[in-house]
């Protein structure tokens, strides 16, 4: 087993969630494990597809599998439900009790001929004080595992992605019943501090754990002890950015970049 590759234990958890390698008709697919290991090598190293080592097969085959799965919706920006470790009651309890939101930025690819533009429509690229960049908005459960994420341009305010983060991502229950979507508390930084967001959370029965800004009235229900747990989502961002293809956005298309994040997030769940 090489560096950045799935261990036997990780593969044992992931394999049942993948489509069969031998379809009913046609040629059998190349090994899923080999293809995924190749994708992980690309994500970790940040190298272009053409530099993929020969042990993973032809780079075009691995890249084709990546784009095929992305087009089929396998990398949709939500990971918690399907990749949740089996038999983890602690995970469901953690999700129900605490949820964290945060964001990070990645320096974006800048095409020739568009350097003077503020951003690129539909591709989550825009200018901010940090330069031409993409914002990664992340929602994590209480143990610091990624639940869902979305992308915006660097100039977009963090609160604009709040509705998207809260409207997707789910945790499968241990027994019967609908997937769990609503936590008891949600911790977020000051960028999410607004009366609209707090009211929306309280209407859904979620306690907001968001510090107020200097020009706002202090929230008497703010729980400082619960807010300290928000460092888990910051550590999650640090783990994601250990993969160079995420720390720097090399993907031209937002959908492909989101797919890369999903692959790494899946690995963190395994």
| pLDDT tens digits, 123-147 | 888 887 777 888 899 888 878 888 8
User: In this structure, is residue 257 part of a structural domain?
Assistant: no
Same domain, yes or no, for 136 and 21? no
Distance (Å, whole) CA 209 – CA 16: 37
User: In this structure, is residue 192 part of a structural domain?
Assistant: yes
Q: What is the pLDDT of residue 124?
A: 86
Same domain, yes or no, for 102 and 174? yes
Alpha-carbon torsion (180, 182, 184, 186), positive or negative:
positive
User: In this structure, is residue 77 part of a structural domain?
Assistant: no
Query: Cα–chain-centroid distance for residue 29?
Result: 27
Same domain, yes or no, for 102 and 169? yes
Mean confidence (pLDDT) of the chain: 80
User: In this structure, is residue 84 part of a structural domain?
Assistant: no
Q: Which residue has better confidence, 76 or 100?
A: 100
pLDDT above 70 covers what percent of the chain?
A: 77
Mean pLDDT is highest, among 75-79, 81-85, 117-121, 177-181, for 177-181
Domain total of the chain: 2
Same domain, yes or no, for 182 and 236? yes
Same domain, yes or no, for 241 and 144? yes
Distance (Å, whole) CA 142 – CA 191: 20
Domain residues for the domain of 209 are 89-110+119-252
For the beta carbon of residue 128, count every other beta carbon within 10 angstroms.
15
Same domain, yes or no, for 178 and 144? yes
Confidence label for 91 from pLDDT (cuts 50, 70 and 90): very low
Same domain, yes or no, for 46 and 159? no
Q: Which residue has better confidence, 28 or 252?
A: 252
Q: What are the Cα distances from residue 22, in Å, to 2, 30, 62, 204?
A: 25, 9, 17, 45
Confidence label for 175 from pLDDT (cuts 50, 70 and 90): low
Is residue 37 scored above 90 in pLDDT?
A: yes
Q: Which residue has better confidence, 125 or 171?
A: 125
Contact 158, 91 (CB under 8 A): no
Is residue 112 scored above 60 in pLDDT?
A: no
Same domain, yes or no, for 143 and 59? no
User: In this structure, is residue 78 part of a structural domain?
Assistant: no
Confidence label for 221 from pLDDT (cuts 50, 70 and 90): confident
What is the average per-residue pLDDT within 31-45?
Answer: 94
Is residue 22 scored above 90 in pLDDT?
A: no
Same domain, yes or no, for 48 and 141? no
Is residue 81 scored above 50 in pLDDT?
A: no
Alpha-carbon torsion (49, 235, 259, 7), positive or negative:
positive
Same domain, yes or no, for 129 and 242? yes
Rounded to two decimals, the pTM is: 0.83
Radius of gyration of the chain (CA): 20
What is the average per-residue pLDDT within 166-193?
Answer: 74
Same domain, yes or no, for 93 and 223? yes
Q: Which residue has better confidence, 66 or 229?
A: 66
User: In this structure, is residue 60 part of a structural domain?
Assistant: yes
If you write DSSP's letter for every residue of 238-254 in order, what string do you get? HHHTTSHHHHBT--SSH
Contact 175, 90 (CB under 8 A): no
For the beta carbon of residue 78, count every other beta carbon within 10 angstroms.
20
Confidence label for 1 from pLDDT (cuts 50, 70 and 90): low
Same domain, yes or no, for 44 and 162? no
């Amino acid at each position: 087993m090489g560096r950045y590759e799935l261990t036997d234990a990780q593969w044992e958890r992931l394999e049942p969630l993948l489509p069969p390698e031998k379809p009913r008709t046609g040629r059998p697919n190349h090994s899923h494990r080999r293809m995924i290991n190749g994708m992980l090598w690309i994500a970790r190293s940040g190298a272009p597809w053409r530099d993929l080592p020969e042990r993973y097969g032809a780079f075009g085959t691995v890249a084709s599998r990546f784009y095929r799965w992305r087009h089929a919706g396998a990398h949709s920006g939500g990971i918690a439900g399907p990749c949740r470790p089996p038999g983890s009651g602690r995970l469901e309890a953690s999700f129900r009790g605490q949820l964290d939101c945060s964001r990070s930025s990645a320096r974006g690819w800048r095409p020739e001929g568009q350097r003077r533009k503020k951003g690129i429509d539909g591709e989550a690229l825009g200018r901010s004080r940090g330069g031409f960049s993409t914002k990664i908005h992340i929602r994590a459960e209480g143990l610091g595992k990624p639940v869902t994420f979305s992308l915006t341009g660097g100039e977009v305010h963090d609160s604009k992605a709040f509705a998207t983060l809260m409207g997707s991502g789910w945790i499968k229950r241990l027994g019967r019943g609908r997937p769990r979507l609503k936590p008891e508390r949600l911790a977020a930084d000051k960028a999410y501090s607004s009366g609209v967001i707090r009211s929306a959370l309280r209407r859904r029965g979620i306690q907001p754990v968001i510090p107020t800004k200097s020009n706002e009235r202090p929230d008497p229900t703010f729980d400082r002890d619960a807010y300290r747990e928000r460092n888990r989502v910051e550590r999650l961002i640090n783990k994601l950015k250990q993969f160079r293809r995420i720390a720097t956005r090399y993907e031209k298309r937002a959908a492909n970049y989101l797919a890369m994040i999903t692959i790494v997030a899946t690995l963190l769940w395994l």
